[in-house]
Structure 1
Protein backbone atom coordinates (compact mmCIF):
# COMPACT_ATOMS: atom_id res chain seq x y z
CA UNK A 1 0.00 0.00 0.00
CA UNK A 2 0.97 3.64 -0.42
CA UNK A 3 0.92 5.04 3.10
CA UNK A 4 1.87 8.31 4.73
CA UNK A 5 3.26 8.32 8.26
CA UNK A 6 3.05 11.43 10.42
CA UNK A 7 4.96 11.59 13.71
CA UNK A 8 8.45 10.10 13.98
CA UNK A 9 9.05 10.13 17.71
CA UNK A 10 10.20 7.21 19.85
CA UNK A 11 7.27 5.07 18.76
CA UNK A 12 6.54 6.33 15.27
CA UNK A 13 10.02 5.86 13.87
CA UNK A 14 10.00 2.13 14.65
CA UNK A 15 6.47 1.70 13.33
CA UNK A 16 7.28 3.48 10.05
CA UNK A 17 10.43 1.37 9.65
CA UNK A 18 8.39 -1.81 9.96
CA UNK A 19 5.94 -0.61 7.32
CA UNK A 20 8.93 -0.23 5.00
CA UNK A 21 10.21 -3.70 5.89
CA UNK A 22 6.78 -5.13 5.05
CA UNK A 23 7.08 -3.73 1.53
CA UNK A 24 4.75 -0.74 1.75
CA UNK A 25 5.57 2.51 -0.04
CA UNK A 26 5.98 4.92 2.87
CA UNK A 27 6.03 8.71 2.80
CA UNK A 28 7.03 10.26 6.11
CA UNK A 29 6.43 13.68 7.62
CA UNK A 30 7.64 15.17 10.88
CA UNK A 31 7.79 18.74 12.16
CA UNK A 32 11.53 18.21 12.67
CA UNK A 33 12.68 17.05 9.22
CA UNK A 34 15.93 15.55 10.52
CA UNK A 35 13.95 12.78 12.20
CA UNK A 36 12.92 11.53 8.75
CA UNK A 37 16.49 11.09 7.51
CA UNK A 38 17.12 7.54 8.87
CA UNK A 39 13.86 6.34 7.27
CA UNK A 40 14.67 8.04 3.97
CA UNK A 41 17.98 6.15 4.04
CA UNK A 42 15.93 2.94 4.33
CA UNK A 43 13.75 3.81 1.34
CA UNK A 44 11.02 6.12 2.58
CA UNK A 45 10.06 9.31 0.79
CA UNK A 46 10.09 12.55 2.78
CA UNK A 47 7.05 14.82 2.46
CA UNK A 48 7.63 18.55 2.50
CA UNK A 49 4.28 19.18 4.18
CA UNK A 50 1.25 17.39 5.59
CA UNK A 51 -0.51 17.28 2.24
CA UNK A 52 2.45 15.45 0.76
CA UNK A 53 1.90 12.59 3.21
CA UNK A 54 -1.79 12.30 2.29
CA UNK A 55 -1.60 11.30 -1.37
CA UNK A 56 -1.65 7.54 -0.94
CA UNK A 57 -4.17 4.94 0.17
CA UNK A 58 -3.81 5.68 3.87
CA UNK A 59 -2.08 7.84 6.44
CA UNK A 60 -1.01 6.81 9.94
CA UNK A 61 -0.65 9.36 12.72
CA UNK A 62 1.42 8.66 15.84
CA UNK A 63 1.54 11.88 17.86
CA UNK A 64 1.88 12.91 21.48
CA UNK A 65 -1.52 14.26 22.43
CA UNK A 66 -4.88 15.73 21.40
CA UNK A 67 -3.38 19.11 20.51
CA UNK A 68 -0.82 17.56 18.15
CA UNK A 69 -3.45 15.39 16.45
CA UNK A 70 -5.83 18.31 16.02
CA UNK A 71 -3.00 20.41 14.59
CA UNK A 72 -2.38 17.92 11.76
CA UNK A 73 -6.00 17.05 11.05
CA UNK A 74 -7.60 20.51 11.01
CA UNK A 75 -7.12 23.50 8.75
CA UNK A 76 -6.68 24.06 5.03
CA UNK A 77 -3.52 21.94 4.87
CA UNK A 78 -4.62 19.28 7.39
CA UNK A 79 -5.55 15.64 6.88
CA UNK A 80 -9.27 16.28 6.59
CA UNK A 81 -8.70 18.71 3.74
CA UNK A 82 -5.88 16.75 2.09
CA UNK A 83 -6.95 13.09 2.17
CA UNK A 84 -8.90 12.09 -0.96
CA UNK A 85 -12.41 10.63 -0.59
CA UNK A 86 -12.25 6.98 0.42
CA UNK A 87 -8.73 7.26 1.83
CA UNK A 88 -8.00 5.88 5.27
CA UNK A 89 -6.76 7.62 8.41
CA UNK A 90 -5.33 5.28 11.04
CA UNK A 91 -4.85 7.09 14.34
CA UNK A 92 -2.39 5.26 16.61
CA UNK A 93 -2.00 8.16 19.02
CA UNK A 94 -3.25 7.88 22.60
CA UNK A 95 -5.94 10.55 22.50
CA UNK A 96 -9.13 11.37 24.35
CA UNK A 97 -12.36 9.56 23.66
CA UNK A 98 -13.93 12.94 22.89
CA UNK A 99 -11.39 13.74 20.16
CA UNK A 100 -11.82 10.29 18.65
CA UNK A 101 -15.56 10.93 18.48
CA UNK A 102 -14.95 14.24 16.67
CA UNK A 103 -12.53 12.64 14.21
CA UNK A 104 -14.98 9.84 13.47
CA UNK A 105 -17.68 12.36 12.57
CA UNK A 106 -15.34 14.65 10.62
CA UNK A 107 -13.89 11.88 8.46
CA UNK A 108 -17.35 10.51 7.73
CA UNK A 109 -18.50 13.97 6.64
CA UNK A 110 -15.46 14.23 4.34
CA UNK A 111 -16.13 10.83 2.78
CA UNK A 112 -12.97 9.36 4.32
CA UNK A 113 -12.48 6.23 6.40
CA UNK A 114 -11.22 6.32 9.97
CA UNK A 115 -9.77 3.58 12.16
CA UNK A 116 -8.61 4.20 15.69
CA UNK A 117 -5.64 1.92 16.36
CA UNK A 118 -3.69 2.83 19.51
CA UNK A 119 -1.04 0.36 20.62
CA UNK A 120 0.33 -1.25 23.75
CA UNK A 121 4.12 -1.40 23.90
CA UNK A 122 7.23 0.67 24.45
CA UNK A 123 9.67 1.95 21.79
CA UNK A 124 11.79 -1.21 21.84
CA UNK A 125 8.66 -3.26 21.12
CA UNK A 126 7.74 -0.87 18.29
CA UNK A 127 11.16 -1.39 16.72
CA UNK A 128 10.84 -5.19 16.98
CA UNK A 129 7.25 -5.25 15.57
CA UNK A 130 5.97 -6.54 18.91
CA UNK A 131 3.22 -4.01 19.57
CA UNK A 132 -0.32 -5.03 20.45
CA UNK A 133 -2.72 -3.10 18.23
CA UNK A 134 -6.24 -2.16 19.35
CA UNK A 135 -8.39 -1.49 16.27
CA UNK A 136 -11.88 -0.02 16.12
CA UNK A 137 -13.88 1.08 13.10
CA UNK A 138 -16.33 -0.37 10.63
CA UNK A 139 -15.47 -3.81 9.26
CA UNK A 140 -14.53 -2.60 5.78
CA UNK A 141 -12.17 0.06 7.12
CA UNK A 142 -10.46 -2.35 9.51
CA UNK A 143 -9.92 -4.90 6.73
CA UNK A 144 -8.44 -2.17 4.55
CA UNK A 145 -6.13 -1.19 7.41
CA UNK A 146 -5.17 -4.74 8.40
CA UNK A 147 -2.03 -5.07 6.20
CA UNK A 148 -0.65 -1.94 7.83
CA UNK A 149 -1.70 -2.91 11.35
CA UNK A 150 -0.15 -6.36 10.99
CA UNK A 151 3.07 -4.78 9.77
CA UNK A 152 3.49 -2.75 12.97
CA UNK A 153 2.30 -5.26 15.58
CA UNK A 154 2.45 -8.92 16.48
CA UNK A 155 -1.27 -9.05 17.31
CA UNK A 156 -4.28 -7.02 16.22
CA UNK A 157 -7.35 -6.95 18.48
CA UNK A 158 -10.62 -5.72 16.97
CA UNK A 159 -12.46 -3.84 19.70
CA UNK A 160 -15.70 -2.51 18.21
CA UNK A 161 -17.20 -0.72 15.22
CA UNK A 162 -17.07 2.67 16.94
CA UNK A 163 -13.49 4.03 16.75
CA UNK A 164 -13.59 5.75 20.18
CA UNK A 165 -13.93 2.32 21.82
CA UNK A 166 -10.28 1.58 21.02
CA UNK A 167 -9.21 4.81 22.70
CA UNK A 168 -11.23 3.93 25.79
CA UNK A 169 -9.56 0.51 25.99
CA UNK A 170 -6.12 2.06 25.52
CA UNK A 171 -6.68 4.63 28.27
CA UNK A 172 -8.01 1.96 30.62
CA UNK A 173 -4.93 -0.14 29.92
CA UNK A 174 -2.54 2.71 30.65
CA UNK A 175 -4.46 3.36 33.86
CA UNK A 176 -3.87 -0.28 34.84
CA UNK A 177 -0.15 -0.06 34.01
CA UNK A 178 0.24 3.09 36.09
CA UNK A 179 -1.61 1.39 38.95
CA UNK A 180 0.84 -1.52 38.81
CA UNK A 181 3.80 0.89 38.75
CA UNK A 182 2.50 2.64 41.86
CA UNK A 183 1.87 -0.67 43.65
CA UNK A 184 5.33 -1.98 42.75
CA UNK A 185 6.90 1.23 43.99
CA UNK A 186 5.12 1.04 47.32
CA UNK A 187 5.93 -2.66 47.79
CA UNK A 188 9.60 -2.14 46.92
CA UNK A 189 9.85 0.84 49.26
CA UNK A 190 8.49 -1.35 52.04
CA UNK A 191 10.81 -4.31 51.57
CA UNK A 192 13.88 -2.20 50.76
CA UNK A 193 13.55 -0.23 53.97
CA UNK A 194 13.30 -3.55 55.76
CA UNK A 195 16.65 -4.62 54.32
CA UNK A 196 15.58 -6.72 51.32
CA UNK A 197 17.46 -6.21 48.06
CA UNK A 198 15.11 -4.78 45.42
CA UNK A 199 16.48 -6.91 42.58
CA UNK A 200 16.15 -10.08 44.67
CA UNK A 201 12.60 -9.05 45.60
CA UNK A 202 11.74 -8.66 41.92
CA UNK A 203 13.15 -12.13 41.19
CA UNK A 204 10.85 -13.56 43.84
CA UNK A 205 7.82 -11.71 42.49
CA UNK A 206 8.34 -12.68 38.86
CA UNK A 207 9.33 -16.25 39.75
CA UNK A 208 6.14 -16.90 41.71
CA UNK A 209 2.75 -15.23 41.29
CA UNK A 210 3.67 -12.07 39.34
CA UNK A 211 5.45 -13.16 36.17
CA UNK A 212 3.59 -10.83 33.80
CA UNK A 213 5.73 -8.79 31.37
CA UNK A 214 4.45 -5.53 32.85
CA UNK A 215 5.83 -6.50 36.27
CA UNK A 216 9.15 -7.60 34.79
CA UNK A 217 9.55 -4.44 32.75
CA UNK A 218 8.46 -1.81 35.24
CA UNK A 219 9.64 -3.69 38.31
CA UNK A 220 13.09 -3.79 36.75
CA UNK A 221 13.10 -0.06 36.05
CA UNK A 222 12.01 0.72 39.62
CA UNK A 223 14.46 -1.73 41.21
CA UNK A 224 17.35 -0.27 39.19
CA UNK A 225 16.01 3.29 39.44
CA UNK A 226 16.51 3.46 35.70
CA UNK A 227 14.23 6.30 34.67
CA UNK A 228 16.35 7.81 31.90
CA UNK A 229 16.26 7.82 28.95
CA UNK A 230 12.48 7.87 29.06
CA UNK A 231 10.75 5.27 26.92
CA UNK A 232 7.46 6.94 27.81
CA UNK A 233 7.91 10.34 29.40
CA UNK A 234 6.18 11.24 32.66
CA UNK A 235 4.15 14.15 31.16
CA UNK A 236 2.59 11.67 28.72
CA UNK A 237 1.68 9.37 31.59
CA UNK A 238 0.07 12.26 33.42
CA UNK A 239 -1.84 13.14 30.24
CA UNK A 240 -3.19 9.60 29.88
CA UNK A 241 -4.42 9.47 33.47
CA UNK A 242 -6.10 12.84 32.96
CA UNK A 243 -7.84 11.49 29.84
CA UNK A 244 -8.93 8.35 31.69
CA UNK A 245 -10.47 10.52 34.40
CA UNK A 246 -12.24 12.59 31.74
CA UNK A 247 -13.67 9.43 30.19
CA UNK A 248 -14.79 8.27 33.61
CA UNK A 249 -16.49 11.58 34.28
CA UNK A 250 -18.28 11.49 30.92
CA UNK A 251 -19.53 7.96 31.62
CA UNK A 252 -20.19 8.63 35.33
CA UNK A 253 -17.69 5.99 36.42
CA UNK A 254 -15.73 6.92 39.58
CA UNK A 255 -12.01 6.11 39.28
CA UNK A 256 -10.54 6.74 42.74
CA UNK A 257 -7.22 5.05 41.94
CA UNK A 258 -6.87 7.22 38.85
CA UNK A 259 -7.34 10.29 41.04
CA UNK A 260 -4.49 9.09 43.26
CA UNK A 261 -2.31 8.49 40.20
CA UNK A 262 -3.06 11.96 38.88
CA UNK A 263 -1.67 13.40 42.12
CA UNK A 264 1.37 11.11 41.99
CA UNK A 265 2.23 12.31 38.49
CA UNK A 266 1.71 15.94 39.50
CA UNK A 267 4.05 15.41 42.43
CA UNK A 268 6.69 13.88 40.15
CA UNK A 269 6.42 16.74 37.66
CA UNK A 270 6.44 19.35 40.43
CA UNK A 271 9.82 17.96 41.54
CA UNK A 272 11.33 18.26 38.06
CA UNK A 273 10.48 14.84 36.63
CA UNK A 274 9.51 15.98 33.14
CA UNK A 275 12.41 14.15 31.47
CA UNK A 276 11.94 10.92 33.42
CA UNK A 277 10.15 7.76 32.36
CA UNK A 278 6.63 7.52 33.72
CA UNK A 279 7.76 4.57 35.86
CA UNK A 280 9.51 7.17 38.06
CA UNK A 281 6.28 7.53 40.03
CA UNK A 282 7.35 4.16 41.46
CA UNK A 283 10.19 5.95 43.23
CA UNK A 284 7.91 8.37 45.07
CA UNK A 285 7.04 5.88 47.80
CA UNK A 286 10.75 5.39 48.57
CA UNK A 287 11.22 9.16 48.70
CA UNK A 288 8.24 9.48 51.04
CA UNK A 289 9.81 6.79 53.23
CA UNK A 290 13.09 8.72 53.42
CA UNK A 291 14.89 6.20 51.21
CA UNK A 292 15.14 8.14 47.93
Structure 2
Protein backbone atom coordinates (compact mmCIF):
# COMPACT_ATOMS: atom_id res chain seq x y z
CA UNK A 1 0.00 0.00 0.00
CA UNK A 2 1.10 3.58 -0.66
CA UNK A 3 1.47 5.29 2.72
CA UNK A 4 2.51 8.77 3.75
CA UNK A 5 3.88 9.34 7.24
CA UNK A 6 4.19 12.73 8.91
CA UNK A 7 6.15 13.19 12.14
CA UNK A 8 9.27 11.22 13.03
CA UNK A 9 9.77 11.77 16.72
CA UNK A 10 10.65 8.77 18.87
CA UNK A 11 7.17 7.28 18.51
CA UNK A 12 6.56 8.21 14.90
CA UNK A 13 9.93 6.96 13.69
CA UNK A 14 9.36 3.55 15.29
CA UNK A 15 5.86 3.24 13.82
CA UNK A 16 6.96 4.37 10.36
CA UNK A 17 9.84 1.90 10.41
CA UNK A 18 7.44 -0.94 11.14
CA UNK A 19 5.28 0.08 8.18
CA UNK A 20 8.37 -0.04 5.96
CA UNK A 21 9.32 -3.44 7.37
CA UNK A 22 5.78 -4.67 6.65
CA UNK A 23 6.39 -4.09 2.94
CA UNK A 24 4.47 -0.88 2.37
CA UNK A 25 5.72 1.89 0.11
CA UNK A 26 6.19 4.67 2.64
CA UNK A 27 6.94 8.32 1.95
CA UNK A 28 7.94 10.28 5.05
CA UNK A 29 8.12 13.91 6.08
CA UNK A 30 9.59 15.51 9.17
CA UNK A 31 10.33 19.16 9.92
CA UNK A 32 13.87 18.18 10.90
CA UNK A 33 15.07 16.29 7.81
CA UNK A 34 17.86 14.56 9.76
CA UNK A 35 15.19 12.34 11.32
CA UNK A 36 14.25 10.93 7.90
CA UNK A 37 17.66 9.38 7.18
CA UNK A 38 17.16 6.03 9.00
CA UNK A 39 13.84 5.60 7.20
CA UNK A 40 15.40 6.45 3.85
CA UNK A 41 18.12 3.85 4.42
CA UNK A 42 15.41 1.29 5.26
CA UNK A 43 13.62 1.91 1.96
CA UNK A 44 11.26 4.83 2.53
CA UNK A 45 11.28 7.87 0.28
CA UNK A 46 11.53 11.39 1.67
CA UNK A 47 8.99 14.10 0.86
CA UNK A 48 9.60 17.82 0.89
CA UNK A 49 6.25 18.61 2.54
CA UNK A 50 3.21 16.93 4.10
CA UNK A 51 1.33 17.57 0.86
CA UNK A 52 3.96 15.74 -1.16
CA UNK A 53 3.91 12.80 1.27
CA UNK A 54 0.13 12.63 0.80
CA UNK A 55 -0.12 13.02 -2.97
CA UNK A 56 0.20 9.37 -4.00
CA UNK A 57 -0.93 7.87 -0.72
CA UNK A 58 -3.95 5.69 -0.02
CA UNK A 59 -3.42 6.39 3.68
CA UNK A 60 -1.49 9.11 5.49
CA UNK A 61 -0.41 8.65 9.11
CA UNK A 62 0.50 11.55 11.36
CA UNK A 63 2.20 11.41 14.75
CA UNK A 64 3.02 14.90 15.99
CA UNK A 65 3.29 16.57 19.37
CA UNK A 66 0.10 18.55 19.90
CA UNK A 67 -3.00 20.27 18.52
CA UNK A 68 -1.07 23.12 16.93
CA UNK A 69 1.40 20.82 15.17
CA UNK A 70 -1.34 18.56 13.81
CA UNK A 71 -3.42 21.50 12.62
CA UNK A 72 -0.37 22.96 10.89
CA UNK A 73 0.70 19.78 9.05
CA UNK A 74 -2.91 19.05 8.09
CA UNK A 75 -4.43 22.41 7.18
CA UNK A 76 -1.42 24.65 6.63
CA UNK A 77 0.24 25.62 3.38
CA UNK A 78 1.43 22.38 1.75
CA UNK A 79 -0.48 20.48 4.42
CA UNK A 80 -1.90 16.98 4.19
CA UNK A 81 -5.29 18.10 2.89
CA UNK A 82 -3.73 20.02 0.01
CA UNK A 83 -2.21 16.80 -1.28
CA UNK A 84 -4.47 13.95 -0.21
CA UNK A 85 -6.88 12.77 -2.90
CA UNK A 86 -10.62 12.44 -2.17
CA UNK A 87 -11.43 9.02 -0.78
CA UNK A 88 -8.07 8.52 0.90
CA UNK A 89 -7.78 8.28 4.69
CA UNK A 90 -5.80 10.28 7.22
CA UNK A 91 -5.00 8.34 10.42
CA UNK A 92 -4.00 10.66 13.26
CA UNK A 93 -2.11 8.86 16.02
CA UNK A 94 -1.38 12.03 17.99
CA UNK A 95 -2.73 12.73 21.46
CA UNK A 96 -4.77 15.87 20.86
CA UNK A 97 -7.73 17.64 22.42
CA UNK A 98 -11.34 16.75 21.78
CA UNK A 99 -12.16 20.15 20.29
CA UNK A 100 -9.22 19.96 17.87
CA UNK A 101 -10.26 16.47 16.75
CA UNK A 102 -13.81 17.65 16.19
CA UNK A 103 -12.64 20.58 14.06
CA UNK A 104 -10.35 18.37 12.00
CA UNK A 105 -13.16 15.87 11.41
CA UNK A 106 -15.26 18.63 9.87
CA UNK A 107 -12.43 19.83 7.62
CA UNK A 108 -11.69 16.30 6.37
CA UNK A 109 -15.36 15.71 5.63
CA UNK A 110 -15.51 18.94 3.64
CA UNK A 111 -12.48 17.79 1.63
CA UNK A 112 -14.00 14.36 0.94
CA UNK A 113 -11.21 12.66 2.89
CA UNK A 114 -11.54 10.08 5.64
CA UNK A 115 -10.34 10.85 9.14
CA UNK A 116 -9.57 8.27 11.82
CA UNK A 117 -8.22 9.10 15.27
CA UNK A 118 -5.97 6.33 16.56
CA UNK A 119 -3.97 7.50 19.59
CA UNK A 120 -1.83 4.94 21.35
CA UNK A 121 -0.86 3.74 24.79
CA UNK A 122 2.78 2.75 24.96
CA UNK A 123 6.28 4.16 24.97
CA UNK A 124 8.83 4.21 22.10
CA UNK A 125 10.17 0.75 22.94
CA UNK A 126 6.63 -0.65 22.73
CA UNK A 127 6.15 1.10 19.38
CA UNK A 128 9.31 -0.48 18.01
CA UNK A 129 8.20 -3.93 19.26
CA UNK A 130 4.67 -3.54 17.80
CA UNK A 131 3.25 -3.74 21.32
CA UNK A 132 1.16 -0.57 21.33
CA UNK A 133 -2.42 -0.49 22.57
CA UNK A 134 -4.32 1.53 19.96
CA UNK A 135 -7.66 3.27 20.42
CA UNK A 136 -9.41 3.94 17.09
CA UNK A 137 -12.54 5.81 16.13
CA UNK A 138 -14.03 6.89 12.81
CA UNK A 139 -16.67 6.06 10.24
CA UNK A 140 -17.01 2.37 9.42
CA UNK A 141 -15.73 2.73 5.85
CA UNK A 142 -12.62 4.51 7.10
CA UNK A 143 -11.99 2.03 9.90
CA UNK A 144 -12.10 -0.80 7.35
CA UNK A 145 -9.05 0.77 5.74
CA UNK A 146 -7.31 1.81 8.95
CA UNK A 147 -7.70 -1.20 11.24
CA UNK A 148 -5.71 -3.76 9.17
CA UNK A 149 -2.80 -1.31 9.13
CA UNK A 150 -3.11 -0.51 12.82
CA UNK A 151 -3.13 -4.22 13.63
CA UNK A 152 0.37 -4.41 12.12
CA UNK A 153 1.56 -1.81 14.65
CA UNK A 154 0.22 -2.92 18.01
CA UNK A 155 -0.88 -5.81 20.17
CA UNK A 156 -4.51 -4.66 20.15
CA UNK A 157 -6.79 -2.20 18.40
CA UNK A 158 -9.79 -1.07 20.41
CA UNK A 159 -12.68 0.39 18.42
CA UNK A 160 -14.11 3.26 20.45
CA UNK A 161 -16.87 4.44 18.14
CA UNK A 162 -17.77 6.22 14.92
CA UNK A 163 -16.76 9.74 16.02
CA UNK A 164 -12.99 10.31 15.79
CA UNK A 165 -12.81 12.61 18.83
CA UNK A 166 -14.12 9.79 21.04
CA UNK A 167 -10.78 7.99 20.66
CA UNK A 168 -8.94 11.15 21.67
CA UNK A 169 -11.10 11.47 24.78
CA UNK A 170 -10.42 7.84 25.76
CA UNK A 171 -6.67 8.46 25.37
CA UNK A 172 -6.84 11.58 27.53
CA UNK A 173 -8.81 9.71 30.19
CA UNK A 174 -6.21 6.93 30.15
CA UNK A 175 -3.37 9.40 30.57
CA UNK A 176 -5.28 11.08 33.39
CA UNK A 177 -5.51 7.72 35.14
CA UNK A 178 -1.78 7.13 34.63
CA UNK A 179 -0.99 10.56 36.06
CA UNK A 180 -2.94 9.69 39.21
CA UNK A 181 -0.95 6.44 39.49
CA UNK A 182 2.26 8.48 39.26
CA UNK A 183 1.11 10.84 42.02
CA UNK A 184 0.05 7.87 44.16
CA UNK A 185 3.41 6.17 43.70
CA UNK A 186 5.24 9.38 44.62
CA UNK A 187 3.28 9.72 47.85
CA UNK A 188 3.59 6.00 48.64
CA UNK A 189 7.36 5.96 48.09
CA UNK A 190 7.70 9.07 50.25
CA UNK A 191 5.88 7.38 53.14
CA UNK A 192 7.77 4.09 52.78
CA UNK A 193 11.14 5.83 52.48
CA UNK A 194 10.49 8.08 55.45
CA UNK A 195 9.73 4.97 57.52
CA UNK A 196 13.06 3.43 56.58
CA UNK A 197 11.73 0.99 53.98
CA UNK A 198 13.81 0.93 50.83
CA UNK A 199 11.51 2.37 48.11
CA UNK A 200 12.75 -0.07 45.44
CA UNK A 201 12.06 -3.01 47.75
CA UNK A 202 8.66 -1.52 48.58
CA UNK A 203 7.73 -1.21 44.90
CA UNK A 204 8.99 -4.72 44.20
CA UNK A 205 6.83 -6.12 47.01
CA UNK A 206 3.65 -4.43 45.80
CA UNK A 207 4.16 -5.05 42.08
CA UNK A 208 4.52 -8.74 42.82
CA UNK A 209 1.26 -8.66 44.79
CA UNK A 210 -1.94 -6.70 44.12
CA UNK A 211 -0.28 -4.08 41.88
CA UNK A 212 1.20 -6.43 39.28
CA UNK A 213 0.51 -4.20 36.28
CA UNK A 214 2.82 -2.44 33.79
CA UNK A 215 2.15 1.16 34.95
CA UNK A 216 3.03 0.33 38.55
CA UNK A 217 6.11 -1.63 37.51
CA UNK A 218 7.44 0.93 35.01
CA UNK A 219 6.70 4.10 36.94
CA UNK A 220 7.24 2.52 40.36
CA UNK A 221 10.83 1.67 39.51
CA UNK A 222 11.53 5.13 38.08
CA UNK A 223 10.03 6.90 41.08
CA UNK A 224 11.60 4.66 43.72
CA UNK A 225 15.04 5.14 42.17
CA UNK A 226 14.34 8.79 41.30
CA UNK A 227 15.69 8.15 37.80
CA UNK A 228 13.63 10.25 35.40
CA UNK A 229 15.95 10.36 32.41
CA UNK A 230 15.84 9.56 29.57
CA UNK A 231 12.24 10.59 29.01
CA UNK A 232 10.02 7.92 27.52
CA UNK A 233 7.19 10.46 27.62
CA UNK A 234 8.35 13.95 28.40
CA UNK A 235 7.09 16.07 31.28
CA UNK A 236 5.77 18.90 29.04
CA UNK A 237 3.74 16.41 26.98
CA UNK A 238 2.20 14.98 30.14
CA UNK A 239 1.38 18.49 31.30
CA UNK A 240 -0.22 19.21 27.93
CA UNK A 241 -2.43 16.12 28.20
CA UNK A 242 -3.50 17.13 31.70
CA UNK A 243 -4.63 20.52 30.36
CA UNK A 244 -6.54 18.84 27.52
CA UNK A 245 -8.24 16.47 29.96
CA UNK A 246 -9.37 19.34 32.17
CA UNK A 247 -10.66 21.24 29.13
CA UNK A 248 -12.62 18.23 27.88
CA UNK A 249 -14.12 17.63 31.32
CA UNK A 250 -15.06 21.28 31.70
CA UNK A 251 -16.83 21.23 28.33
CA UNK A 252 -18.83 18.24 29.56
CA UNK A 253 -19.55 19.80 32.95
CA UNK A 254 -17.60 17.13 34.83
CA UNK A 255 -15.44 18.12 37.83
CA UNK A 256 -12.09 16.33 38.09
CA UNK A 257 -10.58 17.00 41.53
CA UNK A 258 -7.65 14.61 41.00
CA UNK A 259 -6.79 16.06 37.60
CA UNK A 260 -6.79 19.51 39.18
CA UNK A 261 -4.39 18.29 41.87
CA UNK A 262 -2.10 16.80 39.22
CA UNK A 263 -2.30 20.08 37.28
CA UNK A 264 -0.84 21.89 40.28
CA UNK A 265 1.82 19.19 40.69
CA UNK A 266 2.93 19.75 37.09
CA UNK A 267 3.17 23.49 37.71
CA UNK A 268 5.15 22.95 40.91
CA UNK A 269 7.69 20.55 39.41
CA UNK A 270 8.17 22.78 36.35
CA UNK A 271 8.82 25.70 38.73
CA UNK A 272 11.68 23.63 40.18
CA UNK A 273 13.38 23.63 36.77
CA UNK A 274 12.33 20.13 35.72
CA UNK A 275 11.72 20.18 31.96
CA UNK A 276 11.55 18.37 28.65
CA UNK A 277 14.55 16.16 29.30
CA UNK A 278 12.66 14.48 32.15
CA UNK A 279 10.01 11.79 31.99
CA UNK A 280 6.54 12.87 33.10
CA UNK A 281 6.86 10.55 36.10
CA UNK A 282 9.13 13.26 37.53
CA UNK A 283 5.93 14.91 38.74
CA UNK A 284 6.32 12.51 41.69
CA UNK A 285 9.22 14.67 42.85
CA UNK A 286 6.66 16.99 44.42
CA UNK A 287 5.58 14.37 46.96
CA UNK A 288 9.16 13.23 47.52
CA UNK A 289 10.39 16.79 48.02
CA UNK A 290 7.62 17.64 50.48
CA UNK A 291 8.58 14.58 52.53
CA UNK A 292 12.27 15.47 52.48
CA UNK A 293 13.01 12.34 50.45
CA UNK A 294 14.21 13.88 47.20
CA UNK A 295 17.69 12.75 46.19
CA UNK A 296 18.17 14.51 42.86
CA UNK A 297 16.30 15.53 39.69
TM range, smaller chain: over 0.9
Q: 1:7 maps to what in 2? A: 7
TM-score normalised according to structure 2 size: 0.97
Distance 1:4 1:147 in 2: 16
Q: CA deviation at 1:290?
A: 1.3
Q: 1:278 maps to what in 2? A: 280
Alpha carbon RMSD of aligned pairs, Å?
A: 0.8
Residue pair 2:49, 2:79 contacting (<8 A) in 1 also: no
**Secondary structure of 1:151's match?**
coil
Off by >6 Å, runs of 4+ in structure 1: none
Task: Trace 1:69-108 onto structure 2 (pairs within 5 A).
Answer: 69-108=70-109
Q: 1:40 maps to what in 2? A: 40
Q: CA deviation at 1:154?
A: 1.2
Q: CA deviation at 1:224?
A: 1.6
Q: CA deviation at 1:76?
A: 3.4
**Secondary structure of 2:10's match?**
coil
Cα deviation, 1:44-83, whole Å, max 9, x if unaligned, reads: 1111111111021011110000110111111331112221
| Consecutive unaligned residues in structure 1, runs of 5 or more | none
Residue pair 2:51, 2:81 contacting (<8 A) in 1 also: no
Cα deviation, 1:195-250, whole Å, max 9, x if unaligned, reads: 00111101111111100111001101111211111111100000000000000000
Distance 2:173 2:184 in 1: 17
After superposing the two structures, state which structure 1 stretch, 184-193 or 73-82, moved more: 73-82
Distance 1:209 1:75 in 2: 49
Q: 2:150 maps to what in 1? A: 149
Task: Trace 1:22-33 onto structure 2 (pairs within 5 A).
Answer: 22-33=22-33
Q: 1:187 maps to what in 2? A: 188
Distance 2:25 2:148 in 1: 12
TM-score normalised according to structure 1 size: 0.98
Q: 2:255 maps to what in 1? A: 254
